[in-house]
Amino acid sequence: MSAAGHALGILGLTKRYGSFTAVDDVSLDVGQGEFLTLLGPSGSGKTTILMAVAGFVAPTAGSILLDGREITPLPPEKRNFGMVFQGYALFPHMSVAENVAFPLRVRGLSRADREAKVRAALDLVQLGAFAERLPKQLSGGQQQRVALARALVFEPNLLLLDEPLSALDKKLRAELQEELKALHRRVGRTFVNVTHDQEEALSLSDRIAILNHGRLIQAGAPGELYERPRTRFVADFLGKSNFIEGAVATADAAGFVLAAGTARIAVRAPAAPEGTRRLLSLRPEKIALLAGEEAADNVVEGRILAWSYLGSGFALRVETASLGELRATLPAWQAAFAPAEGLPVRLGWSAEAAVPVEEDAP
């Protein structure tokens, strides 16, 4: 299969159902060969966007562009997009090989051409030995791979994936995530994936677009979104976060000091006018347990309210005098640490750890 990625443009896409707005003015560019994930809770409009790109949903406003060319009015069968549906939608009356051959047959390819391409596509997903089986004779993971082979066999301009791994159990999901990622590298096509699973989004994607209530909240590389969430929703949905609210007490070129409760938090960030309200997002794993007189940019003291063992570490809920409750996760290897309820602890984090975020528009 030749590497031929195409660029997708979504421009001011809006979809209303009566008075309900499913997608609200979303604009997004997907680069050639990029793996983009639309991530959001249910009802965030991510599937509607995918269906509009596929041509199953007619947008109320806005347009879909492929390599800069308008394709909004084209019906799904004219777009040449491969799609893996939720639940796979394999044709139950056709064998695996016939399923994979379907897009070739409707394009009028000769039997010989079909057979060669079907074999190549099944080999790509390591299912060559299952060509004559019926879909119901395969496991969930195998069905998923047939759906992938069927969506890729006709060398589509774009591969669209609608919650491709949601029907699988956790272990298989992790395995197929890796396979999907490897497949993306091998075929070099543009993939657009929809999921509500933030771990899947983080591990698979080149770029993630986070949606809520039909609006695009933030788009960027996984690390960028995780490290510098723009709003409270992004910080909360992608991973876990503590939120600290306060007023800017002093500010200089390096950052500012936030007065939150009785605490003074040093933040390295673009300066903000004194007196303005600011919200900080602080990831639990960026909080360290300080021993003895160890110092940090920010130090608070408190007592452990509750704790749980995660295998790889500990998750603590700490009641602090100055900031209320904070969540912290500590790697288990860090120290010989025996947590107990009521145990006094000192927590510390650097000035870069907490990042200012915006409150979301209602």
Partner 1 sequence: MTAAGRPGIGWWLLILPALVLLLVFYVAPILQVLAISVTEPEPGLGNYERIFTSESVQRVILTTLRICLITTVLALLLGYAIAYAITLATPRARGWWILAVLVPLWISVLVRAFAWVTLLRRQGLVNNTLINAGMISEPLPLVWNEFGIVVGMVHYMVPFAVLPMLASMREIDPRLLAAARGLGASRGQVFRQVFLPLSMPGVIAAAVLVFIFSLGFYITPAILGGGKTLMVAEWISLQILDLIRWGLGTMMATMLIVAILVTLAVFSRLVDLRRIFGSGA
Contact assessment for residue 161 and residue 193, using Cβ atoms and an 8 Å cutoff: yes
Minimum Å distance from CB 3 to partner 1? 21
Per-residue x/- mask for partner 1, residues 132 to 161, rule CB under 8 A? ------------------xx--x-----x-
Minimum Å distance from CB 119 to partner 1? 18
Site for partner 1 in 45-104 (CB under 8 A): 54-56, 75-77, 80-83, 85-87, 89, 91-93, 102-103
Minimum Å distance from CB 321 to partner 1? 56
Minimum Å distance from CB 105 to partner 1? 8
Query: Which has the closest alpha carbon to 146: 176, 171, 121, 168?
Result: 121
CA distance 61 to 283: 38
Query: Which has the closest alpha carbon to 89: 41, 124, 56?
Result: 56
Per-residue tokens: 104? 């070739």
Query: Which has the closest alpha carbon to 304: 251, 345, 256, 262?
Result: 345
Query: Residue 86 or 139: which CB sits closer to partner 1?
Result: 86
The verdict on 18 binding partner 1 (CB under 8 A) reads: no
Minimum Å distance from CB 43 to partner 1? 19
Minimum Å distance from CB 335 to partner 1? 52
Amino acid type, 345: V
Burial grade of 134 (CB within 10 A; 0-12, 13-18, 19 or more): middle
Neighbours of 27 (CB within 10 A): 12
Minimum Å distance from CB 117 to partner 1? 13
Give the list of residues 6+ apart from residue 314 with CB closer than 8 angstroms, or none: 307, 308, 329, 330, 332, 337, 339
| Strand pairing category for 255-260 and 242-252 | antiparallel
The β-bridge partners of 328 are 316
The verdict on 346 binding partner 1 (CB under 8 A) reads: no
Query: Residue 91 or 309: which CB sits closer to partner 1?
Result: 91
Query: Residue 82 or 246: which CB sits closer to partner 1?
Result: 82
Q: Is 163 left (phi over 0), alpha (psi -120 to 50) or beta?
A: left
Per-residue tokens: 232? 């409270």
Is residue 53 within a helix (H) or strand (E), and if so which, with residue range? helix 46-54
Residues binding partner 1: number (CB under 8 A): 26
Reported in sequence order, the residue ranges of 76-233 that DSSP labels E, i.e. its strands, are 81-84, 158-162, 191-195, 207-212, 215-220
Minimum Å distance from CB 123 to partner 1? 20
Residue from the set 69, 105, 186, 240 that interacts with partner 1 by CB under 8 A: 105
Query: Residue 3 or 106: which CB sits closer to partner 1?
Result: 106
Query: Residue 40 or 82: which CB sits closer to partner 1?
Result: 82
Contact assessment for residue 220 and residue 52, using Cβ atoms and an 8 Å cutoff: no
Residue from the set 3, 106, 221, 332 that interacts with partner 1 by CB under 8 A: 106
Per-residue x/- mask for partner 1, residues 243 to 282, rule CB under 8 A? ----------------------------------------
Residue ranges that bind partner 1, judged by CB under 8 A: 54-56, 75-77, 80-83, 85-87, 89, 91-93, 102-103, 105-107, 150-151, 154, 160
